[in-house]
A and B are shown apart, each in its own frame.
Chain A
């Protein structure tokens, strides 16, 4: 597996000809594959703590075994496909209707090869149903498979009090009903569950207005707008901001919603290496100097798409450097804080607060309410003219229904808790405890010898297992740990 953080390792070797000192005089020491990027303080407001990120490479024998594992799985896959085609082995998958047998096949054989032969073997690790709130302990429904994961059967038993390490419930705000959720009950009884209209028509409730004001206050920006689904927030608003003739510079490991939004916009997309400011700068320089391909006309706008915390890597974006680049090359910055809002920063305000930066320096702040706030939906915040433009032109506001009232109330309640507006310091305590727990957890896992990716402050902890069958063994082993069962991915 290539070292994604390899860019940072090469820092010392690359010739640094940048005029400004945006902290690029980095000393890098690599020890056991852990890269510590030390920044020298060029400007007074820069983040001057060490960024500790690790993207350790796997040892050679692990890589060999992993490839072998996949290779054997593939060979067996071909063998079983052959047996299934000749009728020697029973085919458990669903098949096309008899009447439609002469239609063009809906799925190409190879598309489904991986699903049929490799994914099916370890399918029981995903989509596990639970039957309680996703708090720190939850109840998992027991299910077994009689035919090697083709179908599942619920035994009816419930495994109670499983330690939850799999839900994105960072601050523990998605919990069973208690008295503090009284307002949600009231709103549910007053407003009902649905809205049955779009924002432009009859779908703007007073709850939405209250929520938007609160979100703007929380993030310390001028205005905000909320949407019913986080995925839809990205995929429907990026096309409203950029179009043909614009350039999107998107990180290698961006989320599917950002990629979809970028593709739907019709702009040209260029990818830069994950969290690699050198790669981004090169692309920016080329874009500004040479303009559009073929016509050499200047680009209308350049939009940089990054995430606050990357969910599959656990890395935090190098925001100070990117903001410096954006200022120099006059690009616009769009930060998707789905996993970082409420979870990083001393008071949970996100990556801007984590780095000590002014939120006005980021042009478009986007985030979701699913993770830290225990609800669903997304928001976009920034300057007032940006939000006004989105109110008018966003596809979501015109064609999709607005957020459900009890969900809006839950977000209002969570925001008030985190901001301390309910009179307690519970919110702040939760954020601080999360930070402490994250660092402790990561440190202990590393001491135990596991390979962990990402920044030490990111609450998403990817623990690499590499081999597909190890995943299976891991889950079985985890279940037997001392009577207390743990659920993870």
Chain B
């Protein structure tokens, strides 16, 4: 039993502690919720587009030729697509007001899934209402903590987010370097032999893109399939850029290489590039795809795709199936532009000649990333002065960098290849595109710029 004095001391101590705590609470100052951003940051002064982002685009009031949108097949302002969307609008209205599980499944969604599965010659397809969410929800549905994923260093941001959400072990291999991947797989095999019980439950995945957004190159799929069977890993193929572009009928990189579609476990693509709609889909065997209907977060916990966008995608698929010739036209145009841009000193073209999205990189870096970005921005601005809508990905050139938990641009793994300008190619550049030219004063940038425009003018009328 404590005496009166001891009790009194205890009470005082408790009170002092309490006051100390209150003081700590008063003193603590958190950081501001958001740090200030510079007022002249280009993202705050967006290029406002009025009108459809089709072949010709009106940016900030000026009409330009569009080299920046991912409208590869030019279906964005196709009258048939618009008519189909309009018919759907008249029947269903705009929104679906519910996720797929709760009366948000419309017959158009089921139709679209059927059509996509038939087009890609797989058993089943599943659609998501947002392109980014597609691969970012698909990967964590299969790969959990403790599983191993081998992913290319140049994988796009959506894949990185999917991997981060899955909490699996990530092993990066050099871009398109099959020897490096094989080395990693062999190392993993050695690890497995040390602990066979764990190896029996550890799933392995290889995540690659058909056409890499960050480099414009195609992945070597035949070698990957060989590695798959040798080391027993499953392949997840992300075909956002290659769907509707590569292959004789636009079925993507599997058709391009003539690989059986069943060899690829999951193909994911978004409908925002070639199909000129919004959303994404995954296709593959029912065994694989059906799992996502309960465990794909972006599928279960999000409202379904508005029916008018689904109807537009169905019509775009119809057009793709009826005119398989447009893919050849697109490839031809890509090759021509690629050739045309080869000879410019100061800029080099990064990307395959077949790829409709490629990058123009500075041949020699000025040494600092900010200066490179500024130089490229100047080129872009003068571009738009002359009527070409381009875009500087310098500020978003960080997209190729893997980061874990930090904001984009803080490289944790992987080398930053340097800022660049992406340009995209549309199948509909017709004969009457003329490249407007205006005389401009001399400067180092101007020399580069002059040469770009000269080359384009020479090759101007592309059929």
Closest to A371 in B: B97
User: At the interface, yes or no: B9 with Cβ under 8 Å from chain A?
Assistant: no
12 pairs, A vs B, C-beta closer than 8 Å:
A94-B290, A104-B204, A108-B201, A131-B106, A167-B97, A188-B82, A194-B271, A201-B393, A228-B278, A264-B164, A370-B95, A392-B44
User: At the interface, yes or no: B379 with Cβ under 8 Å from chain A?
Assistant: no
- Report the minimal beta-carbon distance from A196 to chain B, rounded to whole angstroms: 4
Known: A301-B31, A406-B308. A174 touches B130 (CB 8 A): no
User: At the interface, yes or no: B458 with Cβ under 8 Å from chain A?
Assistant: no
Q: For the complex, give the distance between the alpha carbons of A386 and B34 in Å.
A: 6
In the complex the two chains form, is B157's CB within 8 Å of A399's CB? yes
- Cβ < 8 Å to B, chain A residues 398-432: 398-401, 404, 406-407, 410
Given contacts A181-B89, A195-B53, 5 further A-B contacts (CB under 8 A): A96-B287, A185-B86, A197-B70, A244-B405, A410-B94
Q: Which of B168-176, B293-301, B328-336 contacts A (4 or more CB under 8 A)?
A: B293-301
In the complex the two chains form, is B25's CB within 8 Å of A328's CB? yes
In the complex the two chains form, is A193's CB within 8 Å of B97's CB? no
Size category, B interface: 35 or more
In the complex the two chains form, is A374's CB within 8 Å of B97's CB? yes
Q: Which listed residue, B34, B288, B396, touches A398 by the CB 8 Å rule? A: B396
In the complex the two chains form, is A202's CB within 8 Å of B86's CB? no
The residues of B with any CB-CB pair to A shorter than 8 Å are 21, 24-25, 28-31, 33-37, 41-44, 46-54, 57, 59, 66, 68-71, 76-77, 81-82, 85-86, 89-98, 100-107, 109-110, 129-133, 136, 142, 156-158, 161, 164-165, 199-204, 229, 232-234, 262, 271-273, 275-278, 285-288, 290-291, 293-294, 297-298, 300-303, 305-306, 308-309, 312, 389, 391, 393, 395-396, 399, 404-408
- Report the minimal beta-carbon distance from A380 to chain B, rounded to whole angstroms: 11
- Report the minimal beta-carbon distance from B440 to chain A, rounded to whole angstroms: 23
Closest to B304 in A: A376
Chain A residue numbers with a CB within 8 Å of B391 are 200-202
Known: A133-B93, A174-B97, A388-B44. A376 touches B129 (CB 8 A): yes
Known: A167-B104, A298-B28, A300-B31. A391 touches B43 (CB 8 A): yes
User: At the interface, yes or no: A192 with Cβ under 8 Å from chain B?
Assistant: yes
- Report the minimal beta-carbon distance from B253 to chain A, rounded to whole angstroms: 20
In the complex the two chains form, is B130's CB within 8 Å of A196's CB? no
In the complex the two chains form, is A375's CB within 8 Å of B94's CB? yes
Known: A134-B98, A174-B94. A197 touches B68 (CB 8 A): yes
In the complex the two chains form, is B200's CB within 8 Å of A104's CB? yes
Chain A residue numbers with a CB within 8 Å of B293 are 127
In the complex the two chains form, is A385's CB within 8 Å of B36's CB? yes
User: At the interface, yes or no: A266 with Cβ under 8 Å from chain B?
Assistant: yes
- Report the minimal beta-carbon distance from B97 to chain A, rounded to whole angstroms: 4
User: At the interface, yes or no: A269 with Cβ under 8 Å from chain B?
Assistant: no
In the complex the two chains form, is A231's CB within 8 Å of B407's CB? no
User: At the interface, yes or no: A169 with Cβ under 8 Å from chain B?
Assistant: yes
In the complex the two chains form, is B34's CB within 8 Å of A385's CB? yes
Q: For the complex, give the distance between the alpha carbons of A175 and B90 in Å.
A: 9
In the complex the two chains form, is B389's CB within 8 Å of A202's CB? yes
The residues of A with any CB-CB pair to B shorter than 8 Å are 94-97, 99-100, 102-108, 115, 119, 126-135, 138, 141, 164, 166-169, 173-177, 181, 184-185, 188-197, 199-206, 209, 228-232, 235-236, 239-241, 243-244, 255-257, 260, 263-266, 285, 288-289, 298-302, 328-332, 363-364, 368-371, 373-376, 385-386, 388-393, 395-401, 404, 406-407, 410, 487, 489
Q: For the complex, give the distance between the alpha carbons of A371 and B130 in Å.
A: 17
- Report the minimal beta-carbon distance from A409 to chain B, rounded to whole angstroms: 9
Q: Which listed residue, A130, A236, A241, touches B106 by the CB 8 Å rule? A: A130
Chain A residue numbers with a CB within 8 Å of B89 are 177, 181, 184-185, 188, 406
Closest to B158 in A: A399
In the complex the two chains form, is B102's CB within 8 Å of A376's CB? no
- Report the minimal beta-carbon distance from A232 to chain B, rounded to whole angstroms: 6
Q: For the complex, give the distance between the alpha carbons of A288 and B28 in Å.
A: 7
In the complex the two chains form, is B200's CB within 8 Å of A94's CB? no
Chain B residue numbers with a CB within 8 Å of A376 are 95-96, 129, 303, 305-306
- Report the minimal beta-carbon distance from A251 to chain B, rounded to whole angstroms: 16
Q: For the complex, give the distance between the alpha carbons of A278 and B22 in Å.
A: 17
Known: A177-B90, A194-B272. A374 touches B297 (CB 8 A): no
In the complex the two chains form, is A194's CB within 8 Å of B276's CB? yes
Q: Which listed residue, A134, A331, A400, touches B97 by the CB 8 Å rule? A: A134
In the complex the two chains form, is A330's CB within 8 Å of B29's CB? yes
Chain B residue numbers with a CB within 8 Å of A205 are 48-50, 53
Closest to A402 in B: B278
Q: For the complex, give the distance between the alpha carbons of A19 and B361 in Å.
A: 62
Closest to B96 in A: A134
In the complex the two chains form, is B91's CB within 8 Å of A133's CB? yes
Known: A174-B93, A410-B95. A191 touches B52 (CB 8 A): yes
Interface centre among B49, B104, B285, B399, by most A CB within 10 Å? B49
Chain B residue numbers with a CB within 8 Å of A135 are 93
- Report the minimal beta-carbon distance from B127 to chain A, rounded to whole angstroms: 13
Interface centre among B70, B93, B98, by most A CB within 10 Å? B93
Q: For the complex, give the distance between the alpha carbons of A259 and B49 in Å.
A: 35
Q: Which listed residue, B86, B97, B399, touches A370 by the CB 8 Å rule? A: B97
In the complex the two chains form, is A202's CB within 8 Å of B306's CB? no
Q: Which listed residue, A126, A175, A392, touches B101 by the CB 8 Å rule? A: A126
Chain B residue numbers with a CB within 8 Å of A397 are 43
In the complex the two chains form, is A94's CB within 8 Å of B286's CB? yes
Q: For the complex, give the distance between the alpha carbons of A88 and B383 in Å.
A: 71
Chain B residue numbers with a CB within 8 Å of A184 are 89, 94
In the complex the two chains form, is B28's CB within 8 Å of A206's CB? no
- Report the minimal beta-carbon distance from A248 to chain B, rounded to whole angstroms: 13
Known: A127-B105, A196-B276, A231-B298. A329 touches B309 (CB 8 A): no
Interface centre among B92, B202, B312, by most A CB within 10 Å? B92
- Report the minimal beta-carbon distance from B51 to chain A, rounded to whole angstroms: 7
In the complex the two chains form, is A231's CB within 8 Å of B133's CB? yes
Q: For the complex, give the distance between the alpha carbons of A175 and B399 in Å.
A: 40
In the complex the two chains form, is A374's CB within 8 Å of B95's CB? yes
Across chains A and B, which 8 residue pairs bring their CB atoms closest together, nearest first? A266-B405, A229-B130, A400-B132, A389-B34, A231-B302, A94-B287, A133-B93, A374-B95
Q: For the complex, give the distance between the alpha carbons of A262 and B77 in Å.
A: 39
Q: For the complex, give the distance between the alpha carbons of A94 and B3 in Å.
A: 76
In the complex the two chains form, is B278's CB within 8 Å of A195's CB? yes
Q: For the complex, give the distance between the alpha carbons of A374 and B406 in Å.
A: 35
Chain A residue numbers with a CB within 8 Å of B303 are 168, 230, 368, 370, 376
- Report the minimal beta-carbon distance from A459 to chain B, rounded to whole angstroms: 12
Chain A residue numbers with a CB within 8 Å of B48 are 204-206, 209
Q: Which listed residue, B47, B71, B97, B232, touches A103 by the CB 8 Å rule? A: B232
Q: For the complex, give the distance between the alpha carbons of A330 and B96 in Å.
A: 39
Q: For the complex, give the distance between the alpha carbons of A200 and B229 in Å.
A: 41
Q: For the complex, give the distance between the alpha carbons of A135 and B98 in Å.
A: 12
Q: For the complex, give the distance between the alpha carbons of A134 and B105 in Å.
A: 10
Q: For the complex, give the distance between the alpha carbons of A169 and B94 in Å.
A: 12
Chain A residue numbers with a CB within 8 Å of B161 are 235-236, 264, 395
In the complex the two chains form, is B49's CB within 8 Å of A243's CB? no
In the complex the two chains form, is B59's CB within 8 Å of A202's CB? yes
